[in-house]
Amino acid sequence: MFIYTVKAGDDLTMLSRRFGIPASRIIADNALRYPNNLVVGQHLIIMSDTVRHVIEEGQTMYSLSQEFGVPLDELLIANPDVNPIALQEGEIINIPIAEDENRRPAVINGYAYPTITDGALECSLPFLTFLSPFSYSVTPDGDIVPPNDDRIIERARASSVMPLMVVTNIYEGSFSTEVLSQILANPDARERLIASILTELERKNYHGVNLDMEYISPEDRETYNAFLRDLSDRLHNSGYILITAVAPKYRADQPGLLYESHDYRAQGEAADYVIIMTYEWGYTYSAPMSVQPIEEVRKVLQYAVTEIPSEKILMGMPNYGYDWNLPYTRGTAASSIGFMAALDLAVRNNSEIFYDEKSQTPYFYYTENGTRHVVWFDDAMSIDAKLRLVDEFDLAGASYWTINRCFIPNWEIVQNLFEVVKL
């Protein structure tokens, strides 16, 4: 498998001949809804082990070896009738694409709202270790309010995917600093919350808890750490696992309500896995930019592995992008958009897709009703680049927010890079 960048004049018939695979296979692997209208810059997954490359001026066997990541000796063996020291412009050579036969094991979690369609669920389940239905919320007294997740739990178990009980401090529709403070300050409420969680785990046969507590008061940092240790001991004694979710931090003393009480070291000690939410650099009210710039993710992971054992870390992966009106005005909201919808929008508007090398993220412009827009999203190329950080930092795997939108190329990349752990 390799990823091809569409150039001017490309069409599926030509690509099918060039790579020796049916056009229908390219359509299916990339879920193309407009197969007769490819756009420049679009990235396509090609399930082939050989590229037929037309030599361009100045290219050499060595430069092709570097460009395609193929050892020079393998390139020479694949082209016995070609004079390697006198390549001619327009000459066709075969470039073998090495398959990674040593896919590393990886734990993959997917968050899902209970409203997820059966189609989107079935798109993702074969590639998940855990399914995390979002979410149980809490009350100031430590009671829990369940989601309507019975349907998706049943579908998960049928696919050998372990459901996790997601517990958040969401109260009346948003993450509540105050409600969590009230629970942590009240020993009876803390005990009620833990006892309620244990009861629900047994009742619904979850595999464990995915704890996503956000915007924790800095004054509650140590109390929250103590609560985590208590919850962890109680879960482990009953045969369950604990996963926690934390904000992306560059250093231990990073200021801000979202960051200060997420103690990487304490959570790494208490939890079986820690999800680092490495996304939302570009967000609803930000200026246009990548949701997940790879250089920022790398900085977070460089710090994280000094505090949390790398084999416990799940790197967050966003399954969405944003569409901004231009010119951008501070305080205006961007619209969330799925990756497939973004690609369709580019095709319908015949928009060239550009690729920002620094953030490893695609983007494009279009105009609608007289208003110019820019869309930053992810595609096969950017997803592949970011998932390779799992191997670079020897992480446990990745966690998707959310799987409610199906993007088939993402799972093709996952399958190419990893052997997904099934419990």
Active site residues: 214
Structure tokens at 97: 């694409």
Strand-pair category, 361-368 with 313-318:
unpaired
**Dist. CA 366–CA 371, nearest whole Å:** 8
416 closest CA partner among 388, 389, 379, 377: 388
Other CB atoms within a 10 A radius of the CB of residue 258 amount to 18
Yes or no: say if 112 and 132 are a contact pair by the CB < 8 Å rule. yes
**Dist. CA 245–CA 134, nearest whole Å:** 13
Strand-pair category, 241-246 with 273-276:
parallel
**Order of strands across the sheet with 335-337?**
335-337, 321-326, 371-376, 361-368, 354-356
219 closest CA partner among 266, 192, 185, 190: 185
Q: Is 198 buried (19+), middle (13-18) or exposed (0-12) by CB count in 10 A? A: middle
| 133-337-216-150 Cα dihedral, nearest 10 degrees | -10
**Dist. CA 53–CA 94, nearest whole Å:** 6
**Dist. CA 360–CA 388, nearest whole Å:** 12
Cα–Cα distance list, 98 to 101, 262, 332 (Å) = 9, 41, 46
346 closest CA partner among 95, 126, 93, 37: 37
Q: What's the number of CA atoms in the CB half-sphere (13 Å) around residue 75?
A: 22
Q: Is 423 buried (19+), middle (13-18) or exposed (0-12) by CB count in 10 A? A: exposed
Q: Name residue 371's beta-bridge partners.
A: 368
